[in-house]
A and B are shown apart, each in its own frame.
Chain A
Amino acid sequence: MIEKNWDSQVKQALSRGLDFERAVQLSTCVRCGLCAESCHYYLVEKDVKAIPAYKLKIVEQVFNYYLNSSGRFLTFWFGSQRLKASTVEKWLDILFGRCSLCGRCSLNCPMGIKIHDLVRLGRSILAELGLVPSGLASTISTTINSDNNMGIKTEEWIGTVRWLEEELRRELEDSSVCLPLDREGAKILYAINPREAKFFPLSLLAVGKIFHAAGESWTLSSNYYDVTNYAYFSGQEALAAEFFRRLEISMKRLNCQMLVLTECGHGFVSARWEAPAWLGYQPDFEIRSILEIMADYVQQGKLKLDPSRNNLPVTLHDPCNLVRLGGLLNEARFLIRQSVKNFIEMKPRGIENFCCGGGGGQLAMTEFAARRQKAGQIKARQIKETGAKIVVAPCHNCLDQLLELNRIYKLGVQLKTVTEIVAEALVF
């Protein structure tokens, strides 16, 4: 990489991305190394570069150099570094290539440092320099240029919905059932992951069944329906706000009251938790995950479930963004327990569960695919140890990674969303 003077851009990016909280946390690490074993990358690589504190350290060095007045003295003693070509290469390899932003390390840091958030700050500086790895950059640019991350054309999407509607009618033997599209004034706007429309329409069919059984007023949108937000992974917050605003536009256009998100970890974190800070205001509608909605239906007696319809042993993967970073600790468990006969927990589980390795934009960054698959070993081992035949993962991103792990590590399991498991147990 050619040596360049990035000083002004780095300062600009730092002052844009930094806030008081991040600055405090960048001054707190004691390099105790206790976070090491919480990271799946470190567990499989045993390389210092995979230790969360190392990832934090390389961001902290730059923070110290540019913004801490003592940082320019005795740089080797206190650790500060100007951002130069070699640092940038290291940053790209480590911040993008060795972190899935799962936040497991953050939960384990005795000092309470949100390491994943500071890795994202580092990524945002790289993005400011135009250095987002090509796979991730191209997914983002597809989203900018079309209205979803897979570049699905509107007519194609409408066609898929119509076809699924036919399927649903056939399956339920009820011609009045519909998959509503652009229904103005519906209570719920359901945002999907384009992956569902393109490759896994069964999850859309399942959600249609559930909304129908619950008698819900809901709709899909013909455009601006994408729940994913890959700019969250690259740390490009202005762009992330733009992507969220698209959902807001659909909400306004269709005059809905509640935005319900499909099973998507980072989509949930982005819309539910991060968007207000990006936008500078709190959206004036409620944002919920489909898991919360289904759990409510079951509790209110709107869905009748028969667990004997799912007899195979089932385990649950807790998506990091949904559980550890999103707070949906119980919903998926509750729904699965109601829908299957034999539920086996992974060890560890819940907020301590391991990342599948596919988060943080890893699935989009093909340049780091081999490392991602290797890091997935930990999840593969967890799955094997349960002896389950079905793995439920309430996140389409995780499902993609788990599909690969299933093949590579010969797990021999079926993969499903919670919606699918619930729909299978549904009694009309």
Chain B
Amino acid sequence: MAVFEKDAVMVWLKLSIIFALILVTVIFIIYFFRIYHYYRPKPQPKPRGDVKKGKVYSLSLGLLPWEKESTRKHWPVYIIGIIYHSAIAFAFFRLVAILFNLNFFLNFFSNRPVMIFLFVGTVSGLSLFFRRLLKAELRQLSYPDDYAANLLVNLFLLNGAISIFFQKALIFFLLNAFFLILYLPLGKIRHCVFFIPSRLIFGQYYGLRGVLPPPFKKIFQ
């Protein structure tokens, strides 16, 4: 790493990424404020269920594949999705470790198993790309952004993997990260921010009505 610390290009690149991260955070905050403008306090009906339990379920057991017919019927897509998103998280942590010289974390995210995992993540991402491309209905449902976002992330994972063993490739990983971060708020990748609020809204709605969480026995049926 020391070699790169001295490299002015790398320093500028790191600073640019940090700037991009700050910019994107500000954009998301502004976006949230804009839509928060639509917030209307609503009188809550008398609950039948438990809102808190609904929210907890929505972000925990409710994410398990057997809890929904859609994921029960599509196990491979679910597993691929989990691998893909976990790999993205690993690559992102690696990026953060590089940006802030967190040596302990950097060592943790810079070894052979992580490299293999990032490769597997890339392949998972590509399989989702081809799923979208080859299934006529999914194609009709998609925008160019869906493909672009997927490819940008796949490249991020691939560069993340390569840069673990070829330090010279680190510049590509950082460049890739820079563009990826700037792209975040524009298209579908923003779901990384909206996922949790959306699941909380879901949990609140079904929790209040006593629909979810399902009775204990159903979970283990």
Whether the Cβ atoms of A32 and B77 lie closer than 8 Å is yes
Whether the Cβ atoms of B69 and A31 lie closer than 8 Å is no
Q: How far does the alpha carbon of A135 sit from the alpha carbon of B215 in the complex, in Å?
A: 40
Whether the Cβ atoms of A33 and B44 lie closer than 8 Å is no
Question: Which secondary structure dominates where chain B touches chain A?
Answer: helix
- Out of B44, B73, B138, B148, which one reaches A37, CB within 8 Å? B73
Whether the Cβ atoms of B141 and A31 lie closer than 8 Å is yes
A356 within 8 A of B: no
Whether the Cβ atoms of A23 and B201 lie closer than 8 Å is no
Whether the Cβ atoms of B143 and A77 lie closer than 8 Å is yes
A352 within 8 A of B: yes
- Say whether, besides A34-B77, A37-B73, A38-B69, A23 and B190 are in contact (CB < 8 Å): no
- Out of B137, B143, B194, B209, which one reaches A78, CB within 8 Å? B143
- Say whether, besides A38-B70, A110-B63, A277-B42, A51 and B137 are in contact (CB < 8 Å): yes
B60 within 8 A of A: no
State which residues 72-98 of B face A: CB under 8 Å: 73-74, 77, 81
Whether the Cβ atoms of B210 and A327 lie closer than 8 Å is yes
State which residues 168-211 of B face A: CB under 8 Å: 185-188, 190-191, 194-195, 197-203, 205-206, 208-211
Whether the Cβ atoms of A34 and B70 lie closer than 8 Å is yes
B39 within 8 A of A: yes
Instruction: Report chain B residues within 8 Å CB of A76.
Output: 143-144
- Out of A21, A54, A107, which one reaches B201, CB within 8 Å? A21
A358 CB → nearest B CB, Å: 21
Which residue on chain B has the smallest CB distance to residue A117?
A: B205
B214 within 8 A of A: yes
Instruction: Report chain A residues within 8 Å CB of B140.
Output: 48, 54
Segment at the interface with A among B3-11, B45-53, B108-116, B117-125: B45-53
Whether the Cβ atoms of A114 and B137 lie closer than 8 Å is no
Instruction: Report chain B residues within 8 Å CB of A15.
Output: 38
Give the size of the chain A interface in residues (CB under 8 angstroms).
59
Instruction: Report chain A residues within 8 Å CB of B210.
Output: 327, 329
- Out of A32, A110, A273, which one reaches B68, CB within 8 Å? A110
State which residues 19-71 of A face B: CB under 8 Å: 19-25, 27-38, 48, 51, 53-54, 57, 70
Whether the Cβ atoms of B198 and A25 lie closer than 8 Å is yes
A318 CB → nearest B CB, Å: 11
- Out of B68, B195, B211, which one reaches A28, CB within 8 Å? B195
Whether the Cβ atoms of B35 and A23 lie closer than 8 Å is yes
Which residue on chain B has the smallest CB distance to residue A79?
A: B143
A321 CB → nearest B CB, Å: 11
Residue in A21, A23, A57, A77 whose Cβ sees the most chain B Cβ within 10 Å? A21
B71 within 8 A of A: yes
A348 within 8 A of B: yes
Q: How far does the alpha carbon of A48 sit from the alpha carbon of B145 in the complex, in Å?
A: 19
Which residue on chain A has the smallest CB distance to residue B39?
A: A20
B200 CB → nearest A CB, Å: 8
Q: How far does the alpha carbon of A29 sit from the alpha carbon of B208 in the complex, in Å?
A: 23
Instruction: Report chain B residues within 8 Å CB of A159.
Output: none
Whether the Cβ atoms of B188 and A30 lie closer than 8 Å is yes
Q: How far does the alpha carbon of A280 sit from the alpha carbon of B48 in the complex, in Å?
A: 20
Instruction: Report chain B residues within 8 Å CB of A25.
Output: 198, 201
Instruction: Report chain B residues within 8 Å CB of A329.
Output: 210-211, 215
Whether the Cβ atoms of A282 and B198 lie closer than 8 Å is no
A382 CB → nearest B CB, Å: 14
Whether the Cβ atoms of B141 and A20 lie closer than 8 Å is no
A187 within 8 A of B: no
Q: How far does the alpha carbon of A76 sit from the alpha carbon of B148 in the complex, in Å?
A: 13
B3 CB → nearest A CB, Å: 39
- Say whether, besides A30-B191, A112-B199, A276 and B43 are in contact (CB < 8 Å): yes
A183 within 8 A of B: no
A324 within 8 A of B: yes
Could you list 7 A-B pairs, sorted by A, with CB under 8 Å? A25-B198, A37-B69, A37-B73, A38-B69, A282-B45, A327-B49, A352-B69
